[in-house]
Amino acid sequence: MGNFTNEPIDLSQLPRYETLSFSSLHPSYWKVMVINIAMFFVLLTTGAALGIIFDAEIRENTFFLIIALIVLLVLVIIFARLSFCKRGYVFRNHDVIYRTGIIATNTVIIPYNRVQHVALHEGFVARFFGLAKVEIFTAGGKGSDIQIPGIEKDKAEDIKQLLMGKIQKQL
Amino acid sequence: MTTDFTSPQKQAPIGILMMFLATLKDLFKVFWVVFIVAVLKSDNTNSLYLLTGFVLLIGITGLISYLKYVNFTFYIDEEKNEFIIHTGVINKTKTVIQLNKIQQVNVNQDFIQQFIRVYSLDIETAGSESKEVEIKAISHELALALKEKLIHGKVVPKTEGALAEQYQSATEEPFIKISFWSLFKIGITSNYMKSLGLIFAFFFTLYENISHVLGDDELENGPLGTFIAKGLAFNAVMMFVAFLMLGVLLFNLVRTVIRYFGFKITKQNGTLVLNFGLINIKNSIVRPERVQIVSVSRNYFQKKLNIFQLNIRQAMNGEKDQRKTAMEIPGCDENEKNQILMLLFNELPTQGLMVTPNFRKLVFSAFLSVFLPVLGYFLIGKYQDSRVYDFYGIAVFYCVLTAVLLWFGFRNYRLFINEKYIVKQSGAWDIENKIIEIHKIQAVSTSQLFWHKNLNIGSLTLHTAAGNLSFYLGNYTTINDYVNRWLYLIETSDSNWM
């Protein structure tokens, strides 16, 4: 180990990422998700309706088709709600943390001094609610980027400025 | 001979010939079946057309090569520190590469290039939007001077002699030379699966091409078809397996020797220069500060023969480039391995604290690769075709083999954590140790299934610029402790990761 010294630090004294309280996404983002799901189901129902009108075989099973669509819709809504509740983010002094996942809880942590660039993305629906998505990229490949949706536009802009400032300082 | 790169330069004129041959080679690769069929099926009446066609094709290829040559220029803009390349006959392209973004410059020589004594120079860069650039025909001196200039951005020695001398001195004292004997040892002990895959791929393409030319019927009723039908007999299967194993060994040996013949590693201004190849001579550079993941692997045979295989991964652009940026160092002994590690890390990484996976990892992989296939086997036997039960021997063999492999894989699955390094050990037969330095971590992710919460187990993925390192189902408290510690180390240090 040669001249390598390491100041004694107590592991238990270090700030712990796993016990932080995460900020949840903006409540309006739930509406955005619902609208997106609704648009998807409008397409799906249209398809099913066309099938019922033009195909005799499908017409015979109209009842099952409708039941299937309703079950699917309920499931998608439940999972979307769970997913919405489970997502959370924290901007700490030195890193950003994003948590997602229903079955598995995934947490991605990016230290600011490893951020390559930051982008703001405003989705079509989200724009009506004044929401934006903050995208944070690193040089680490697959799965190492963070995309936090459902942040108020002004706040997202502030976050972007903050991160850009941190990146600039390092250069 | 000029080493002034500030004014636009063309490639070596002989490059026209090279591009001509290369284009012909590519054409032939794609259309060889068509050519052969055309030649075979032609009679006297249309052979004239055929000849005219060939001549036209060659003429057009020649013209295109010439136009490509004329329109390809490159130069260094010293004020802006950029390397600029103009290409394109009809669509003009200007590629600008900032000198400080250049990751790696390779000077290579393939078979055609060796024949007409030119080299190709390709440039790899970091950054999401940049493309890889290749200069296809350039003289050796110019290639080395340009490489020097691109990498170090400093004035190259003006005289050709000095340059040649510098290169000479570099080539004369390689600090590691891998002998033919070591290559032989590696050739017969590694990459069994890869060679098997390549052989199958080769025969499959051959089969497909033949069946295209001859038509399917001929093939199925011909001698080959009968052979395949009879081949189901047990003896024939055994013979086939024996031949296959022998084939794999030979193929492996030949491939390793051709690819890595005369492997030399030279130290040059703190970088490692690798030279190797029998037919295609490759020359590439490893810069220690760009190295992200180093993996050292060996299997049981290689342990007995005291050889290691090293794989060095440098920072890369996208997933698809991963193979290209990985440098393979085949067959070095303990001492040489340590020397390389010393050069890359300035010390020998020790293993440190050991984290073991939970037994559920073994259960899960057994479920995936033993239980599910066996279930499938019985389902097919019950509902589709009970004849599959005749092959129960193969099924039992598969289960036993997989179980043994899984067990060893589980036993070898370890994460070692040290002050500066993280080492992940894995593999059942080829045991691989992946080493990363903590300050090269770009991002950390952890993951836990909800039913693992009370069991306190979870997974960890460390993202580096050359790929990920994952460890599944370890003690979650330990993992989180170390994640916090690594974050602290990364966030408090300014050390450059690249």
Quick: pLDDT tens for A88-134. 999 998 899 999 999 999 999 999 988 888 899 998 899 999 999 99
Residue B492's pLDDT band (boundaries 50, 70, 90)? confident
Q: Which helix (H) or strand (E) holds B213?
A: helix B192-214
Q: Spell out which residues of chain B touch residue A113, defining contact as CB-CB under 8 Å.
A: 490-491, 494
* B211: number of Cβ within 10 Å: 15
**pLDDT tens digits, one per residue of A4-27:** 665 666 767 788 888 889 999 999
Pairwise CB contact (< 8 Å): A113 & B490: yes
Q: What CATH number has the domain spanning A89-170?
A: 2.30.29
**Chain A contact present for B419, CB below 8 A:** yes
Query: Would you state the pLDDT for residue B149?
Result: 82
Average pLDDT over residues B232-252: 77
Average pLDDT over residues B218-243: 61
Q: Spell out which residues of chain B touch residue A144, defining contact as CB-CB under 8 Å.
A: 442-443, 445, 463, 468
| Contact criterion met (CB below 8 Å) for B361 and B410 | yes
Pairwise CB contact (< 8 Å): B491 & A109: no
| Contact criterion met (CB below 8 Å) for B458 and B447 | yes
Query: Would you state the pLDDT for residue B458?
Result: 94
* Token couple for B258: 């051709």
Residue A34, phi-psi category: left (phi > 0), alpha (psi -120 to 50), beta (remainder): alpha
Positive or negative: CA dihedral B102, B104, B109, B112: negative
Average pLDDT over residues B404-425: 93
Q: Spell out which residues of chain A touch residue B495, defining contact as CB-CB under 8 Å.
A: none
Query: Would you state the pLDDT for residue A97?
Result: 95
Query: Would you state the pLDDT for residue A167?
Result: 76
Q: Give this prediction's pTM.
A: 0.74
Q: Spell out which residues of chain A touch residue B446, defining contact as CB-CB under 8 Å.
A: 18, 106-107
Query: Would you state the pLDDT for residue B162?
Result: 38
CA B48 and chain centroid, separation: 45
Dmax (CA) of chain A: 82
A55-69: b or e for each residue (b if 16 or more CB lie within 10 Å)?
eeeeeeeeeebeeee
Rounded (10°) angle between helices B44-70 and B15-41: 160
Inter-chain Cβ pairs, chain A and chain B, closer than 8 A: 105
Which residue matches tokens 């052969």?
B36
Q: Spell out which residues of chain A touch residue B465, defining contact as CB-CB under 8 Å.
A: 139-141
The one-character DSSP state at B46 is H
- Residues of B numbered 109-128 whose beta carbons fall under 8 angstroms of chain A's beta carbons: which are they? 126
- Residues of B numbered 306-335 whose beta carbons fall under 8 angstroms of chain A's beta carbons: which are they? 315-316, 318-319
Pairwise CB contact (< 8 Å): B461 & A9: no
Pairwise CB contact (< 8 Å): B442 & A139: yes
* From A102-111, B217-226, B247-256, B430-439, the region with the lowest mean pLDDT: B217-226
**Chain A contact present for B43, CB below 8 A:** no
Pairwise CB contact (< 8 Å): A17 & B442: no
- To test the contact with chain B by mutation, choose from A4, A92, A97, A107 the residue with the greatest count of B C-beta atoms within 10 A, namely A107
Nearest to A105 among B315, B448, B491 (CB): B448
Residue B107's pLDDT band (boundaries 50, 70, 90)? confident
Shortest alpha-carbon distance between residue A144 and chain B (Å): 6
**pLDDT tens digits, one per residue of B159-212:** 343 344 344 444 446 778 888 888 888 888 887 777 777 777 777 777 777 777
Pairwise CB contact (< 8 Å): B487 & A141: no
Nearest to A103 among B419, B441, B450 (CB): B450
CA distances from B134 to A32, B39, B77, B97, B350 (A): 47, 35, 18, 12, 40
Positive or negative: CA dihedral B176, B181, B184, B188: negative
pLDDT at B232 over 60: no
Residue B498's pLDDT band (boundaries 50, 70, 90)? low
- B123 CB-near residues (< 8 Å, 6+ apart): B83, B97, B102, B104, B105, B132, B133, B134, B150
pLDDT at A80 over 90: yes
In angstroms, the CA B147 to CA B121 distance is: 8
| Contact criterion met (CB below 8 Å) for B491 and A115 | no
The one-character DSSP state at B438 is G
Average pLDDT over residues B221-245: 64
In angstroms, the CA A37 to CA A31 distance is: 10
Pairwise CB contact (< 8 Å): B447 & A106: yes
Query: Would you state the pLDDT for residue B170?
Result: 44
* From A28-37, B178-187, B263-272, the region with the lowest mean pLDDT: B263-272
In angstroms, the CA B491 to CA A170 distance is: 11
Query: Would you state the pLDDT for residue B158?
Result: 38
Pairwise CB contact (< 8 Å): A14 & B446: no
| Contact criterion met (CB below 8 Å) for B490 and A170 | no
Q: Spell out which residues of chain B touch residue A110, defining contact as CB-CB under 8 Å.
A: 442-443
Task: Give me the percent of chain B exceeding a pLDDT of 90.
Answer: 21
Of A120, A129, A123, the residue nearest A28 (C-alpha): A129
Domain ranges of chain A: 27-83, 89-170
| Contact criterion met (CB below 8 Å) for B177 and B330 | no
Q: Greater confidence, B460 or B106? A: B460
Query: Would you state the pLDDT for residue B120?
Result: 84
Pairwise CB contact (< 8 Å): B445 & A112: no
Pairwise CB contact (< 8 Å): A109 & B445: yes
Pairwise CB contact (< 8 Å): A9 & B347: no
Shortest alpha-carbon distance between residue A29 and chain B (Å): 24
Residue B148's pLDDT band (boundaries 50, 70, 90)? confident
Pairwise CB contact (< 8 Å): A109 & B483: yes
CA distances from B381 to B155, B369, B384 (A): 73, 18, 6
- B163 CB-near residues (< 8 Å, 6+ apart): B3, B141, B144, B145, B148, B156, B157
| Contact criterion met (CB below 8 Å) for B266 and B275 | yes
Q: Which helix (H) or strand (E) holds B106?
A: strand B102-108
Shortest alpha-carbon distance between residue A169 and chain B (Å): 12
Average pLDDT over residues A69-76: 95
Average pLDDT over residues B275-280: 83
In angstroms, the CA B128 to CA B315 distance is: 12
Average pLDDT over residues A141-157: 89
Q: Greater confidence, B45 or B128? A: B45
Q: Among all residues of chain A, which has the CA nearest to that of B292?
A: A140
Nearest to B463 among A105, A106, A143 (CB): A143
Query: Would you state the pLDDT for residue B169?
Result: 42
Pairwise CB contact (< 8 Å): A104 & B447: yes
Residue B157's pLDDT band (boundaries 50, 70, 90)? very low
Query: Would you state the pLDDT for residue B32?
Result: 77
Q: Among all residues of chain A, which has the CA nearest to that of B481?
A: A11
- Numbered residues of chain A with Cβ closer than 8 Å to any chain B Cβ: 1-2, 4, 6, 9, 11, 14-18, 94-95, 101, 103-114, 138-146, 170
Average pLDDT over residues B95-99: 80
Average pLDDT over residues B475-487: 92
Q: Spell out which residues of chain B touch residue A1, defining contact as CB-CB under 8 Å.
A: 347, 419
In angstroms, the CA B411 to CA B485 distance is: 27
Shortest alpha-carbon distance between residue A57 and chain B (Å): 28
Pairwise CB contact (< 8 Å): B484 & A11: yes
Q: Spell out which residues of chain B touch residue A170, defining contact as CB-CB under 8 Å.
A: 494
Pairwise CB contact (< 8 Å): B316 & A105: no
Query: Would you state the pLDDT for residue B413?
Result: 95
pLDDT at B306 over 60: yes
Nearest to A17 among B316, B450, B483 (CB): B483
Shortest alpha-carbon distance between residue A101 and chain B (Å): 9
Residue B31, phi-psi category: left (phi > 0), alpha (psi -120 to 50), beta (remainder): alpha
Shortest alpha-carbon distance between residue B370 and chain A (Å): 24
pLDDT at B435 over 80: yes
In angstroms, the CA B85 to CA B88 distance is: 10
ipTM: 0.89
The one-character DSSP state at B117 is T
In angstroms, the CA B70 to CA B86 distance is: 10
**pLDDT tens digits, one per residue of A49-62:** 998 898 888 888 88
The chain-wide mean pLDDT, for chain B, equals 80
The one-character DSSP state at A118 is E
Query: Would you state the pLDDT for residue B173?
Result: 67
